[in-house]
Chains A and B, each alone.
Chain A
Amino acid sequence: MMKELYFALYAIKKNIQSSAKLRTSFLMNIFGVAVNNTAFIILWGFFVKSVGIIGGWTVADIIGLQGFVALCFGIVFSTADGIRKLANYTASGSFDRFMLSPKNLLVRIATSSFGVSALGDIVFGIVCLGIFAFLINATIYQILLIILLVIISTIVFLAAAIAIYSTSFYFTDSSSVTDSLFELFLTPSLFHGGAFQGVMRFIFTFAIPSLLIGALPVEIVRDISLGKLLLVSVLAIFWFVVSINIFNRAVKKYESSNFMTFGN
């Protein structure tokens, strides 16, 4: 287990060093993503101004929501960007080289690529959560909750990404399917959390875990709700176990296309 972790950290370090070589592009990507994400805060901020407070959600909560989602997205796709490329790997046959590697298959795939722009999401996420904590006058207890919830949400995000991209093994040209499923998961997570009520809230909590990575963590921090914290934690563990199972089952579907794509 420790060996795998060391390997993952080594691969991530090398990926960052390689990306940082193109300094201008590297910095512009980080800046561009931060601007890109700010758009959602502006939109939902004006929404709150026009519509008023819905489900107890204020502009501060919107900032917190964007912070949680951006940070999860950034952590997962900067360190484990390879998951997003699973559809390409299986379609092109380059998945063979991962199967031949003596390292853990999932760790090897996940760390095979590094998303530079995702670093911008991390910076943006941290800034937003800082502003969120300031605006709600967060106590030490709430700050610790934010840190804990970032970890839990990241696990949910990672689990969802693994489960979604594992479907690559079931289709011939799967990138369109995986991209659609990922969009169905990610897009609602960026929407105003207070507007999700009744059936919609149930669906996007239990069937599609979009609210687990942003809306519910914000509500937990704001209301200091231990009941919701327990629910999110249990669902995080559930989704993680399920996603690993899905991945392991899906890999068995893979048939080598005998392409010699060594290296890289």
Chain B
Amino acid sequence: MKEIRLTTKILKTLVKDRIQYPDRLFVDTIGIIARCGILLILYWYVFKLNNGVINGTTFLFAAWSIFFYFSFSVLRLRDISREIMKDVQTGNVEVLFSKPISYLSYRMWWQVGSGIYSFVVITLLTVVALIFIIGLPPTMTIGIFIPTLILTFLCGAILSLFLYTIVGLLSFWIEDINPVFWIVDKTIMILGGSYLPIAFFPEFMFKIALWSPFGASQFVTHTVYETWQTNWYQLLGIQLFWIVLLGLVVYFMFEKAKQKVSVNGG
């Protein structure tokens, strides 16, 4: 009960904060225009040059897949790594450890709360704009699409939080986690289907994307393709497997990390 109250409080406070100070929304909007918007225009041109079909995929599918990746990134779940590093470097972690709350769940809910407002606003507006400009692929109108999209989105969010929390927890052992963060982040970017939609992946790369936790955290980009209708339960299974495994890694790393902290008071 206490956990639920804390979670609601964090989410409410952060959403109110973001509504009051919309600068983050401004940053995220420009960010999605600079990355996703320009990329979609370029892809539109590239598909036109190739008579509308590349690797058996049309622009409609590729565009929605790319959009799902960038929309998911607006949640900024990856920032949890740097927040943990900042806590460790500034000593703030000592203060948070002494409070009657779970440090990791506090950090994770904080991360969700900081991005949720921008995510909802930008996603809704962009979905409407995309429907009007390019339309909806038939795969997005079938019955199982919305429920499975929500499921894979939630699993992807949990998996992303676990992956980036592991990177963040490394700051208890190494002074600067940025290089590790960059490597993990870019692996997710490549295997998630960001600048290159998964339909363009060569066979071996598609397999890595399918079976690694990096690709699994972005399965939301797979939902627009026809193959999703037949193998969604397999992909959800892979996500659940990684959630359990990485959840255990996070738990044991955090237990070890707590032993590294020496509270000096002050």
Contacts and interface: CB of A to CB of B under 8 A. Distances in A.
B174 to A, nearest CB: 8
Contact of B175 (A25, A33, A44, A195): A25
Given A47-B196, A181-B30, A192 B176 contact: no
A91 to B, nearest CB: 12
Contact of A36 (B33, B41, B174, B186): B186
Interface stretch (A154-162, A171-179, A234-242): A171-179
Contact of A184 (B30, B55, B176, B201): B30
Contacts of B49: 54
Interface-centre pick from A117, A177, A179, A195 (highest chain B CB count, 10 A)? A195
A56 interface: no
Nearest to A188: B38
B140 interface: no
Interface residues of A, number: 40
A31 B183 CA distance: 10
A47 to B, nearest CB: 5
Given A51-B200, A176-B23, A176-B24, A46 B46 contact: no
B196 A46 contact: yes
B46 A51 contact: yes
A187 B34 contact: yes
Given A50-B200, A180-B31, A117 B42 contact: no
Given A36-B186, A39-B186, A50-B55, A176 B42 contact: no
Interface-centre pick from B26, B38, B185, B202 (highest chain A CB count, 10 A)? B38
A187 B195 CA distance: 11
The size class of the interface chain B forms with chain A is 35 or more
A75 to B, nearest CB: 20
Interface in B15-72: 23-24, 26-27, 30-31, 33-35, 38-39, 41-43, 45-46, 49-50, 54-55
A33 B202 contact: no
Contact of A43 (B26, B46, B180, B196): B196
A180 B175 CA distance: 29
Contact of A183 (B31, B54, B55, B183): B31
A35 B183 contact: yes
A49 interface: yes
A56 to B, nearest CB: 12
B129 interface: no
Contacts of A50: 54-55, 196, 200, 202
12 contacts: A28-B178, A32-B180, A33-B179, A35-B182, A36-B182, A43-B190, A43-B194, A44-B195, A179-B27, A183-B35, A197-B45, A200-B38
Interface of B: 23-24, 26-27, 30-31, 33-35, 38-39, 41-43, 45-46, 49-50, 54-55, 174-176, 178-183, 185-187, 189-190, 194-196, 200-202, 205
Please list the 3 inter-chain residue pairs (A to B) with the smallest Cβ-Cβ separation, ordered nearest first. A32-B179, A180-B30, A39-B186
